[in-house]
Structure 1
Amino acid sequence: MNLSGDIRQDLWQKANLDWSLHQFDVKNSFLHGELTEEVYMDIPPRYNTTQTRTVCKLRKALYGLKQSPRAWFGRFTVAMKKNGFKECNSNHTLFLKHRKGKDLGGLKYFLGIEVAQSQQGIFLSQNKYVLDLLTDTGMLDCKPADTFIVYNHHLGEYPDQVPTNKERYPRLVGRLIYLSHTRPDIAYAVSVVSQFMHSPSEDHMNAVLWILRYLKSAPGKGLTFSKHGHLNIDGYSNIDWAGNLTNGKSISSYFTFVGGNLVT
C-alpha cells in the first residue's frame, strides 16, 4: 500500500461514503506477473555452469524489474474482471463489485501500516513500524524531541565535513521515506536528509537521529480520513525564496484537501 494520490483519494471516498476496507491475501503477488517482452538476466550468483556467456530468459517478473508493476497489474486486472469486478474509468486502480465476496475481513494491518476503521472514519498509523525502527537503531530509550528538525539547521555539503557510515545512512533515510506516507509531519525533514545520500556526514546523521527522537515523542501519530459531509477541494502552498543552501533554489511545498481530508 503506497499512499499515493490515488490511494488517498480512495480513502477519503470510503470515509465519506461509509465504505469499509477489506484485505485479500496474495502471496508473492509481484512474482505472478507474466512478461510480454523478452527480458534476460545474468546467471544468479553461485549457480554452477560450464558454459560461458550464458544468460537466463525470464518468463515471469522479478522484484526490482521495471516491468514488474505493469506485468502484475495487467494480470491482476484480468483476474478482477473475471471475478465480477468493474474497473473505474476515472481511477484505473479502483475496482468495484456490489456483491459481497469471500475475503479476510476488515483491513487492519498491511505492509507496516495499521488501519483502524470506525463510524467516524479511517485512521492510518505506523506505530509498530516506528517502535521497530527505534529498537533497531538503539533509540527506543532516547530523549524525545519536540521538533522534527533543528530550526535554521544549515545542513549542506562542506569541504571539512566528517563522513559517516554510507551504508547505514541511506538505509535509515529509506525507512523514514516509507514512514512519511502516514507521517506528513516529518516529510520536510526527510526531504532534507535525503539530499545527502551520496555523501552523508556526521551532521546529516545527527539530523536523522533527531527525526528519530521526534518520532519517539509520539510514535502513534498518523493520518485520519473522516466523514465531513462535503466534497470541497482546498489547496495550500508555500515557498521560502532561495532557501536551499546547496543550490540556492527556492523550497516550495503544497498540499490538497478533498472532502476535508489530506490527499496530496
Structure 2
Amino acid sequence: MNEEIQALQNNKTWSIVPLPPNKQPIGCKWVYKVKYKPDGTVERYKARRDIVKLPELIMGENQHVCKLHKSLYGLKQASRQWFLKLSSALQAGGFTQSWSDYSMFIRKFQDKVTVLLVYVDDVIIAGNNLQDIEATKQFLAGRFKLRDMGTLHYFFGIEVARSRQGIVLSQRKYALEVLEDAGFLGAKPSKYPIDQNLVLTKDDGVLLQDASQYRRLVGRLIYLTITRPDLVYAVHILSQYMDKPRQPHLEAAYRVLRYVKHTPGQGILLPSHGHLELTAYCDADWARCKDTRRSTTGYCLFLGKAPVSWKSKKQGTVSRSSAEAEYRSMATTCCEITWILALLRDLHVNHKEAVQLFCDNKAAIHIASNPVFHERTKHIDIDCHVVREKVQRGLVKPIHVRTNEQTADLFTKPLGLKQLIALLGKLGVINIHTNLRGSIKERNQN
C-alpha cells in the first residue's frame, strides 16, 4: 500500500486542496490481490487505489480532498489514456502499430525484429535479437516505472513451457481452479468432452432456478478454449443456452468438467521447426441445430505445423443444402485467412504461396472455382464473391480432402474416441505433464 501511494505521489497524480463549495467528492477504496506463480506459490501481494461511487467520504478535520490531475483505476478513461501514453512512447522509440492488431507494436531494423504485445499495463516482448530486446527494456524503463518479470512463463492463466522441440501453451493451473471452484477435483474423469449421441435443445428438461452457476461455469470454460481446441465444440454448444439454461445443459457442462479432470495439463505445441506456410481446414455440419436448423461452421489454421487459429460457430442463416453450408464455412475461413496474412505482413513474414484451403465437399470447391454465377448460387452471392475473389487473386487455393482426414471435424460435431485422439494429434495437442516425448513422436508420425 505504501509503495502504491508513493508511486501515485511520484507521478503527481493528485494535489491536496480544500473541498470547493457546493462540490460532492467521490470515494475511493483499496483493492487487494495476491499474485500466484503457476505452481501455486505466492509471487507477490498487490494493492491499488480504485475509484468507486460512494455518497460519503471520510476526510480530515480541515475538509481537504485529493484533486486528481491524472487518471486512476476505476475511471472510465483510465485505460484509454494509459494506452495513448504508452503507444506514443513506443512510436517515438521507432515502433509502428499493427493495422491488424492495435495492441501489437513492431520495430524492424535491418534483420532485427522486435515485437511488443500490450494488454492494459502488461507487455510481452519478443524478437530475434537479445540486444535489441534489452535496449527496448531500457527505453521503456526510462519513461515508465516497470517490473521486469524475466522470461515468459505465465501470463493471464496461460503457462509457457520451452524445449528444443518448441513451445507448449497450456492452462493447467487455471483448469484446476475451474475444477476446484465447481467442486469437481474428486470427480470421475471422462475421456470425451461431449457424448457423441447427445442432442441438446432449448426446451428439454427442467429450467434451472439459478442460472448464474451455469453462466459462470461456461464463461470460465470459454477462456479455457484459448489453448484447448478439444473443448471448442462442446463449449460452443453450451454457450447457446446461457439465456435460459436447463438441467440437461448443466449435466453436459459437468461432462466437460470431467473431461478436463482427465486432461488438466493438455495444451498445444508450437514446433520450433517447419516452414512458415499457412494452411487451413474448413468444415460444416449441415442443419446441426435442432432448434433453428442452422449449420455449424468450423475451421482451423496452421502456420507450418503450429495451430494458430480455430473456431466453432453456428451460421447466421439456414442453408438449403450441405454444399451451401460448406461454402459458407469456406467464406468464413477465407476472412480469417485474410486477417492472418495481414498480421504476417505486419510481422515482416513474406507469404508468397497461395494458402491451401482443405475442404471435404467437392461441390463447394467447384462453386469457388467456377467463374459463372447461376440460379443455384444467387442466395449465397456475397459468400461467392468473398471466396472467389481470394481464389482469383491467388491468395487461396481450395483443395479437396477426404472426410476421414478433415481436421476441422473436431469443431463441427462430437467425435468418437479414436477419431478424437487422431485429430488432437494432428492439431498438436499434447500433455507435457504426462509424456512429452511420446506425444511429439506420435504427432510427427501422424
TM-score of the pair, normalised by structure 1? 0.72
Match in the other structure for 1:87 = 96
1:74 equivalent in alignment to 2:84: yes
Q: Using the alignment, how far apart are the partners of 1:99 and 1:132 within structure 2?
A: 34
Identity of aligned residues (%): 37
3-state SS of 1:75 partner: helix
**Judging changes above 3 Å, is the alpha-carbon distance between structure 1 residues 99 and 243 closer, same or farther for their aligned structure 2 residues?**
closer
2:282 is aligned with 1:237: yes
> What secondary structure is seen at the aligned counterpart in 2 of 1:165?
coil
Post-superposition Cα deviations, 1:47-66, rounded to whole Å, max 9, x if no partner, equal 239xxxxxxx997476695x
Give how far 1:247 is off: 0.7
Q: For residues 105 and 150 of structure 2, what CA distance do their matches in structure 1 show? A: 18
Counterpart of 1:17 in structure 2 is none
Equivalent AA in structure 2 for residue 205 of structure 1: L
In the TM superposition, what is the alpha-carbon distance from 1:197 to its structure 2 partner?
0.6
1:212 paired with 2:257, answer yes
Give the 3 Å change call, closer, same or farther, for CA 80–215 of structure 1 in structure 2.
Answer: same
Going from structure 1 to structure 2, the CA distance change for 1:99 and 1:132 (only over 3 Å counts) comes to: closer
- C-alpha change, 1:68 and 1:212, in structure 2 (3 Å) is farther
In the TM superposition, what are the counterparts of 1:60-71 in structure 2 within 5 Å?
60=71, 71=81
Provide the rounded CA distance (Å) in 2 between the counterparts of 1:162 and 1:86. Answer: 53
Change (3 A) 1:198 1:63: farther
Question: Match for 1:232: what amino acid?
Answer: E
Residue matched to 1:4? none
Question: SS in structure 2 opposite 1:94?
Answer: strand
- Note the C-alpha offset of 1:166: 0.8
Q: What is the one-letter code of the residue matched to 1:76? A: L
1:238–1:254 contact (8 Å) kept in structure 2: yes
Q: 1:61 to 1:157 in 2, by over 3 A?
A: farther
Matching of residue 154 in structure 1 with residue 165 in structure 2: no
How far does residue 182 in structure 1 lie from its aligned partner after superposition?
0.8
Greater helix proportion: 2
Looking at structure 2, the residues matched to 139 and 160 of structure 1 have their Cα atoms a distance apart, in angstroms, of 23
Larger radius of gyration: 2
Partner residue of 2:294? 249
- In structure 1, C-alpha distance between the alignment counterparts of 2:178 and 2:204, rounded to whole Å: 31
Q: In angstroms, what is the RMSD of aligned CA positions?
A: 3.1
Cα deviation 1:209-239 (Å, max 9, x = unaligned) = 1000000111000121112230111110111
1:236 alignment partner AA: Y
CA distance in 1: counterparts of 2:217 and 2:258, whole angstroms: 13
Provide closer, same or farther for how the CA distance between residues 243 and 28 of structure 1 changes in structure 2, counting only shifts above 3 A.
farther
Q: TM-score, normalised by structure 2?
A: 0.44
| Alignment partners' CA distance in 2, 1:199 and 1:111 | 30
Whether the 8 Å CA contact 2:279–2:302 is kept in 1: the answer is: yes
Asked whether the 8 Å contact 1:164–1:200 carries over to 2, the reply is: no
Tell me if the contact between 1:61 and 1:71 (Cα under 8 Å) persists in the aligned partners.
Answer: no
Instruction: Return the structure number with greater strand share.
Output: 2
Closer/same/farther in 2, CA of residues 72 and 119 from structure 1, 3 Å limit = farther
Equivalenced residues, count: 218
Cα deviation 1:103-148 (Å, max 9, x = unaligned): 3210111111111123322111111111111111110011111110
Task: Find out whether 1:223 has 2:242 as its counterpart.
Answer: no
| Superimposed CA distance per residue, residues 167-201 of structure 1 (whole angstroms, 9 cap, x where no aligned partner) | 11111111000110011110000010001111011
Give the Cα separation in 2 of the matches to 1:137 and 1:76: 39
Q: What CA distance in whole angstroms lies between the structure 1 residues aligned with 2:173 and 2:231?
A: 17
Q: Which amino acid aligns with 1:124?
A: L
- The aligned counterpart of 1:47 is 55
Q: Does 1:119 align with 2:127?
A: no
Distance 1:105 1:224 in 2: 22
Retained in 1: the 8 A contact 2:204–2:246?
Answer: no
| Contact in 2 for aligned 1:193/1:204 (Cα 8 Å) | yes
**Matched-pair contact (CA < 8 Å) for 1:233–1:257:** yes
Greater relative contact order (CA < 8 Å, ≥ 6 in sequence): 1
* Structure 1 unaligned residues grouped into runs of 5+: 1-24, 32-40, 50-56
Q: Does 1:143 align with 2:194?
A: no
1:130 to 145, 161, 175: 175
Kept after mapping to 2: 8 A contact 1:164/1:202: no
